[in-house]
Amino acid sequence: VVRMIISRHSKYQMVRREHISQAINQVLGENGREDGHRSNRGPGYNKLVLDEAKQDMKEIFGMDLVHLPTLKGDSGEEEPNKRRKTNNDGKTKISTKSNGSMGLVSCLTPKEKQVLQRLYTGNLISEVDNERNTNDAQFYLPKYYKLNTPSSNMELIKMGIILLIIGILIIQENHINEQDLVKILKKFGISDNLNHKIPNLNMNLTEFINELIRKDYIIRSTPKSKQTETTNGSFSLGVRTFMELDPKSIFEIIKDIYGDNFDLDTKRKTVVTIERTYGESI
């Protein structure tokens, strides 16, 4: 019903009760529901639906559906449903009755209209939390989006290496030198040779780390030197890691990575770092 009313309003068309009944019948069917069974649609059912629709439009759109008065015809003569009344002082007053047509009008208070005007005339390209502006076609979409399960073998390999790097950072108390990170990754068979591509990812380790930085999985505190090929930065966990992984999940991931080597000292470091990083106990 709300969609129908707003659609007709956008086309400069009035709304009548038969339009509301038609919209309800399209959803529920002539007999009551789409499955053909009759429902308890009494005489006041359409009015109940209309009242709820009007309430939604007031709260969401700041608009109210009101009955429109009958206007004069093209000839300038009064319509038949206009009645003349004579007051006690002898003055004649024209009373206008509605012909059943309804239309949308604003129900915002003056203060609310001022706020709306400031928003409309202000800076329309202001950024929001997803770092998109109102001119972006994906303005209302979240910045980060990931399926619950890997969609391909490439995605599976990528997430495996991401979880490995996150686990290493946790063990190192959320801070590790880039050279030390590369040295540890070598033990897992990931080469730092620029000519060596990670299987199925078509990128070397340096490119992969830069990809994680770009996607906010990790943060490099010191930029990579532009003069040399040496890496001299240090890493910590990025905001996307906190969004996608909860503390208990990270603990289980690290436990699985270390396997039998997950001793008491490693467990203590893991718990302390996770609690310190996330600000909550596990």
CATH code: domain of residue 61: 1.10.10
Q: What pLDDT does 77 receive?
A: 47
The one-letter code for the residue type at 106 is S
> d(Cα 132, Cα 251) in Å, to the nearest integer?
33
| Residues 103 and 176 reside in one and the same domain | no
Tell me the three-class secondary structure of 109-121, residue by residue: CHHHHHHHHHHHH
Cα 240 → chain centroid: 16
Q: What pLDDT does 112 receive?
A: 81
Q: Which residues of the chain have pLDDT under 50?
A: 34-38, 73-82, 92, 95, 124-128, 226-230
Range of the domain at 92: 2-70+82-109
User: Does residue 205 contact residue 188 with C-beta atoms inside 8 Å?
Assistant: no
Examine residue 86 and state whether it is found in any structural domain, yes or no.
Answer: yes
| Residues 181 and 94 reside in one and the same domain | no
Examine residue 47 and state whether it is found in any structural domain, yes or no.
Answer: yes
Task: Report the DSSP beta bridge partners of residue 236.
Answer: 219
Q: What pLDDT does 235 receive?
A: 92
Examine residue 176 and state whether it is found in any structural domain, yes or no.
Answer: yes
pLDDT digits (tens, 9 = 90+) for 176-233: 998 999 999 998 888 888 888 887 788 899 999 999 998 889 999 875 554 444 456 8
pLDDT digits (tens, 9 = 90+) for 94-117: 545 556 788 888 888 888 877 777
Which alpha helices (H) appear in the chain, and where do they start and end?
A: 2-10, 17-28, 45-61, 110-121, 153-171, 178-187, 205-214, 239-244, 247-258, 264-278
The two three-digit tokens of residue 126, written as one number: 């202001």
Examine residue 43 and state whether it is found in any structural domain, yes or no.
Answer: yes
Q: What pLDDT does 244 receive?
A: 82
